[in-house]
Chain A
């Protein structure tokens, strides 16, 4: 009975992760985007702790704390600092209009549900049904990278994809070994720093962070 309640909490948190993924997809303002990313990290972290409790895998508590410190506190802080330093204020433009993007997002959720159906048949873990949500989060992150023109939003899409991968690992196999997770966390952190440095270079070279500018690198003098 208790396990059933925990399974319900687990799927509820999965639903919230999916909801924040869609909210990020539809959000225009970059500050709210960072806040939503932090919320996604928070749900992910709570979910990891719940899964750790259900599976009695104590290393999941550590990765939950890692997620909390890096994805909820550190990365959003770094992104906020970047946004302030680079003076990004205006609303972000998208390639497609937002309702269309959301419809594609829904199609991606259905697609990943079908894709993970065989895994769900074979798996016996209580978290198996959230695998579809995890895959959908990865795909929505990718969709966000495709449909946004702005470099910072693309990075947030990338980080959201990483969230999805982490979620997939916890729901499919009760998490990766701790060494791998530590390595990934460090990678993400380093990546964020490198992105920050790149942003400064891009914005000083092109006077803009829109990646469209980079398409015309030909010497047209």
Chain B
């Protein structure tokens, strides 16, 4: 009778961590970026302040906004929370994790993106439609790449279930696997595109013509915008934790006593912080690409992940 309660507690803890820590992760990335570019940063808490500010503001809806426009913020936030409950972040003993494998996770992300694109077009402004079309173009290139990367990991872990992958990687002997390295690099490129970071999209741009994600949500305001922003932060954080679960799973707790959970949270913070540094280095080192160069950037990601699958068969 106590054990399920235990598992539910871990599950709740993980979801709370995901929701609460995602803005901090974005704040950390933004802070590092400010430091690297020689600016004074607004601090790691700035995303929380942004969200809090947006929640107290009124929602302004266009007259022709349909129900799609109104439910999308909740859908974006909700899907992000659902995914946050199935990726093994602090423990492999997750209550809900067996209900969805890695392909379902990608599909849920794709659903959120689909509704976001619909909402972008819903009002009928030019920028919304433009942003939606660009987002879909990027999605059509990232999804094959991320699926191939995930197939590589699933082949190596002999399962598409994230729990099995994490367990087989963290328990098995450390072997040099070219396929996993290729898939890992491809995953990094894809995450940059999915999270809308610099070479693909500039999250801090104020120029509508270069916007991708920002153009889609241009019509949102108040609590709707807050939920979408928060959902995007969670999404970014979840892609990072998905990468950790697939490629750096060491340290995720497999038992459910409080000590190992605490250790696993500690490792998660360390790994996320390091990944934040890597993201910032990539962002600062590269300039934003022209939109039509993206096919090459994401083509490279697809190539790498496909080479990962091929290398698995040829070399391992």
On A, residues with C-beta under 8 Å from B are 5, 8-9, 11-12, 14-16, 18-19, 22, 26, 98-99, 102, 105-106, 109-110, 113, 129-130, 132-133
Residues 148-184 of B at the A interface (beta carbon under 8 Å): 175-176, 178-179, 181-182
Tell whether B296 is near chain A: CB-to-CB under 8 Å: yes
- Which chain A positions have C-beta within 8 A of B304? 19
**Interface-forming stretch among B10-18, B39-47, B305-313?**
B305-313
- Which chain A positions have C-beta within 8 A of B310? 106, 109-110, 113
Cα–Cα, bound, A110→B311 (Å):
10
Tell whether B299 is near chain A: CB-to-CB under 8 Å: yes
Contacts A/B (CB < 8 Å), 11 sampled: A11-B176, A11-B315, A15-B181, A15-B182, A26-B299, A26-B300, A99-B295, A106-B303, A113-B310, A132-B314, A133-B314
Cα–Cα, bound, A25→B295 (Å):
15
Q: Shortest beta-carbon distance, A166 to chain B, in Å?
A: 19
B interface: dominant SS = helix
Q: A8-B176, A12-B178, A109-B307 are in contact. Are A98 and B315 (CB under 8 A)?
A: no
Query: Do A15 and B313 touch across chains, with their CB atoms under 8 A apart?
Result: no
Q: A14-B315, A98-B296 are in contact. Are A106 and B306 (CB under 8 A)?
A: yes
Tell whether B316 is near chain A: CB-to-CB under 8 Å: yes
Query: Do B175 and A106 touch across chains, with their CB atoms under 8 A apart?
Result: no
Interface centre among A19, A26, A109, A133 (most CB of B within 10 A): A19
Query: Do A113 and B176 touch across chains, with their CB atoms under 8 A apart?
Result: no
Interface string of B270-311 (1 = CB under 8 A from A): 000000000000000000000000011001100110110011
Q: A99-B296, A113-B310 are in contact. Are A15 and B303 (CB under 8 A)?
A: no
A interface: dominant SS = helix
Q: A15-B315, A113-B313, A129-B314 are in contact. Are A102 and B178 (CB under 8 A)?
A: no
Partner of A19, one of B176, B182, B296, B299: B182
Query: Do B178 and A11 touch across chains, with their CB atoms under 8 A apart?
Result: yes
- Which chain B positions have C-beta within 8 A of A5? 176
- Which chain A positions have C-beta within 8 A of B314? 109, 113, 129, 132-133
CB-nearest residue of chain B to A116? B314
- Which chain B positions have C-beta within 8 A of A8? 175-176
- Which chain A positions have C-beta within 8 A of B176? 5, 8-9, 11-12
Query: Do A11 and B316 touch across chains, with their CB atoms under 8 A apart?
Result: yes
Q: Shortest beta-carbon distance, A169 to chain B, in Å?
A: 18
Cα–Cα, bound, A20→B43 (Å):
41
**Besides the contacts A11-B315, A113-B314, what 15 more A-B pairs have beta carbons closer than 8 Å?**
A5-B176, A11-B316, A14-B315, A15-B311, A22-B307, A26-B296, A98-B296, A99-B295, A102-B299, A102-B303, A105-B303, A106-B303, A106-B307, A129-B314, A133-B314
Cα–Cα, bound, A113→B311 (Å):
10
